[in-house]
């Protein structure tokens, strides 16, 4: 999963889609996931990073991560990688 190239992402967790004009605010973990996605981390690496940083189990992170990916795709902010 990759964030589309035209999506603007601020360090404070603000996403802007210039195509639609939509903007979104992310929480701390959402911002961390976006940062890791922009570094082209695999989902397994994202899960590992979140589990090591926060007190949460990998099953919860995995479920939430794939839910987050679905939301990103639904709002046309991300697309499947090659």
pLDDT(1) > 90:
no
Q: Which of 23, 25, 30 is nearest to 46 (CA)?
A: 30
pLDDT(81) > 80:
no
Distance CA 19, CA 1 (A): 19
Q: Could you report the per-residue pLDDT of 10-69, keeping only the tens digit for each? A: 988 899 999 999 999 999 999 999 999 989 999 999 999 999 999 999 999 999 999 999
Backbone torsion region of residue 9, taken as left when φ is above 0, otherwise alpha when ψ lies between -120 and 50, otherwise beta: beta
**Greater pLDDT, 69 or 81:** 69
């Amino acid at each position: 999963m990759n964030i589309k190239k035209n999506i603007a992402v601020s360090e404070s967790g603000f996403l802007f889609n210039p195509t639609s004009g939509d903007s979104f605010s992310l929480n701390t973990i959402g911002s961390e996931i976006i940062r890791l996605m922009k570094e082209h981390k695999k989902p397994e690496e994202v899960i590992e990073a979140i589990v090591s940083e926060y007190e949460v189990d990998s099953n919860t992170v995995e479920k939430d991560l794939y839910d987050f990916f679905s939301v990103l795709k639904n709002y046309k902010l991300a697309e499947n990688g090659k």
